[in-house]
Structure 1
């Protein structure tokens, strides 16, 4: 199916009469490739968290939409993202997580790079024993750095390099959570887990940003944070989600709780917010902890969800930390059958993308509208070239 077959005009209608994205946006390889460029590579997408490389020299190879990348904390402690290839013949430089003790050495011809990406050694490039050549300008052949930014401990990347600055592009969200502009501490190995789901990544976003499904999919959570306690969060073109007016702190066997973030307004004594930052990062914010979910499209119909929990202080209570991880794991696992069921449903040829509840589905409709708008702009740009 060609991308011209996906008519997006019905998606961009007011919610009362809009349809959801056509089936092809979940099942067609051509449309998936088009979305990769328009939605993921041209804007700011989530790649990882800074805690994946906690110490200087730590390096983790990653693949993002087929692109080999290297997440690295350089000698000065700055987190960087490079294309994980040698500038000589395109060989993969690092094939498993490790500490870079000296330089990043290509296993093919031993070209070496500093942790800041500078080409520092080219053995025998001018012939045996000749490590330089006039035709090889080391200053021009450093690693290809991918534009990156850290916010809420998430490593965001703009692969194309063409997006507005991160703080400009996300100014409204940064302002919304300005009270939480404080250090976040990753809970460690017991505060991270991964879920692999058989669905297109967009379905995970669609499900996350609305509260409509809570009574049926999350009965435990809904028992105290009821559907009527929730409100919509909608910022066209940027993010959407839900908030709750009822948040109950987790307590341990000795009635201990996590320490709160300092200086919060009274609103956060009982409130919490859950926001999908387009395209692929899902954030949760509470008075005493936060989480980030990075959605990685492994294939058109497969997504890995990387969940990380953060706290206001380093090394919070271990018992409570484990309890919190298990609680959130249960909640997120409850959503798996829903997103996988919707993916299977997209094989029905008569499905028109579905309809939206004008009252309950605002955040999800906003996401569909964002996808459609970005794709329309992308198609217009291609047509003009």
Structure 2
């Protein structure tokens, strides 16, 4: 298809339109965005808690790519392409513990958990485990650049983004008080939601508090619309904060332990930020969460939700209540993002408008998408 016209998206908020319909429905635009938005920067893939022990390996599919999350024998989390360098066979097809080496089920080539090719049985003929032209030192697993922050495993698939610390310096500085051990709550502190919408709609909805009174009446009853503020960092992240965070309290008055060393602001404040492109983060005095949006096509997204605490052994009953409370809030948003997705099939919709007072964080995300897309389109293309 012809390139979408993004000029109206980058206007000042009062006169801007949202992204055109094709950015939510068209497979060719989805493919463009895959490269321009999700592969070129630092996208969220998984959480380090998915591979808690050395030798743990978990296969993942991200943008149709087979990837392998591994905690190597030294305890470092790594991301590899989940393929053998021989014939491209999938190496690991289910989560498991790697006891010795990662062995290809096809011809038994074996790799260390650090990615080195360590054996190539019969490659030179029966009983001959070496062959001219097969240099094991050059045929290790293909490693994907990765970084861990806020418990999330971030990946740069293009391999050429600035370092994670440079790319996200402002956000790291803003939340430096939370740069301390975060303990994943475990099996009762993770869930996933399958949502029939484009991944960007989940970002747009998360960025703003405008919808609270109507979509989250329970939450709005104590953390009201007027208690919220915008968080706006053009080209990097956006979201919202509240000055009225109410700690969850158990039947016996018990609460979660606080993160140590927080400034007074966090006694009552909480912040909810999208780190572009696809990670939704929330921080509070006593817990944090990460939502990783995995796009499965123009109109389908999986939301992987993980909750973290300041100490490893928090009260299981309180943890379960906290998970259930957040699950209820996030499920309240599903009809909205799915309704907007259906709305994007209305051919005369012009991308919509933004409230200058209420939609600043969402408009920033649209403007970021438009800028990245235009930069991508301006790059010279190899002859097709």
Tell whether the structures are fold-level matches, with TM greater than 0.5.
Answer: yes
The alpha-carbon distance between structure 1 residues 150 and 3, as it changes in their structure 2 partners (threshold 3 A), is farther
Give the structure 1 partner of residue 55 of structure 2: 57
Asked if the contact 1:3/1:31 (under 8 Å) is kept, the reply is no
Asked if the contact 1:192/1:309 (under 8 Å) is kept, the reply is yes
**Is 1:207 matched up with 2:205?**
yes
Q: Deviations over 1:163-222 (max 9, x none)?
A: 000000000000000111110000000000000000000000000010000000000000
Count of equivalent residues: 383
Asked if the contact 1:111/1:119 (under 8 Å) is kept, the reply is yes
Alignment map for 1:70-219 (pairs within 5 Å): 70-219=68-217
1:41 to 39, 42, 63: 39
Give the structure 1 partner of residue 28 of structure 2: 30
Q: Deviations over 1:247-272 (max 9, x none)?
A: 01000010000000001110000000
Give the structure 1 partner of residue 306 of structure 2: 308
Structure 1 position 134, deviation (Å): 2.3
Give the structure 2 partner of residue 224 of structure 1: 222
**Is 1:369 matched up with 2:367?**
yes
Partner Cα separation in structure 2 for residue 47 and residue 9 of structure 1:
31
Give the RMSD, CA atoms, in angstroms: 0.8
1:288 to 268, 286, 289: 286
Q: Deviations over 1:302-347 (max 9, x none)?
A: 0000000000000201110000000000000000000000000000
Asked if the contact 2:122/2:128 (under 8 Å) is kept, the reply is yes
Structure 1 position 233, deviation (Å): 0.2
Asked if the contact 1:258/1:288 (under 8 Å) is kept, the reply is yes
**Is 1:321 matched up with 2:319?**
yes
Look up the SS of the partner of 2:379 in the other structure.
helix
The alpha-carbon distance between structure 1 residues 88 and 200, as it changes in their structure 2 partners (threshold 3 A), is same
Give the structure 2 partner of residue 233 of structure 1: 231
Partner Cα separation in structure 1 for residue 324 and residue 356 of structure 2:
34
Look up the SS of the partner of 2:143 in the other structure.
coil
Asked if the contact 1:54/1:73 (under 8 Å) is kept, the reply is yes
Give the structure 2 partner of residue 20 of structure 1: 18
Give the structure 1 partner of residue 9 of structure 2: 11
Asked if the contact 2:27/2:297 (under 8 Å) is kept, the reply is no
Partner Cα separation in structure 1 for residue 336 and residue 327 of structure 2:
15
Hey, which bits of structure 1, 4+ residues long, moved more than 3 A? 382-385
Look up the SS of the partner of 2:192 in the other structure.
strand
Partner Cα separation in structure 1 for residue 272 and residue 62 of structure 2:
24
Asked if the contact 1:70/1:81 (under 8 Å) is kept, the reply is yes
Partner Cα separation in structure 2 for residue 220 and residue 383 of structure 1:
51
Asked if the contact 1:57/1:75 (under 8 Å) is kept, the reply is yes
Asked if the contact 2:57/2:70 (under 8 Å) is kept, the reply is yes
Tell me the TM-score normalized by structure 2.
Answer: 0.99
Asked if the contact 1:356/1:365 (under 8 Å) is kept, the reply is yes
Give the structure 2 partner of residue 251 of structure 1: 249
Asked if the contact 1:27/1:347 (under 8 Å) is kept, the reply is yes
Partner Cα separation in structure 2 for residue 180 and residue 90 of structure 1:
41
Unaligned runs of 5+ in 2: none
Partner Cα separation in structure 2 for residue 25 and residue 123 of structure 1:
48
Structure 1 position 384, deviation (Å): 8.9
Partner Cα separation in structure 2 for residue 72 and residue 25 of structure 1:
33
Asked if the contact 1:55/1:77 (under 8 Å) is kept, the reply is yes
Look up the SS of the partner of 2:247 in the other structure.
coil
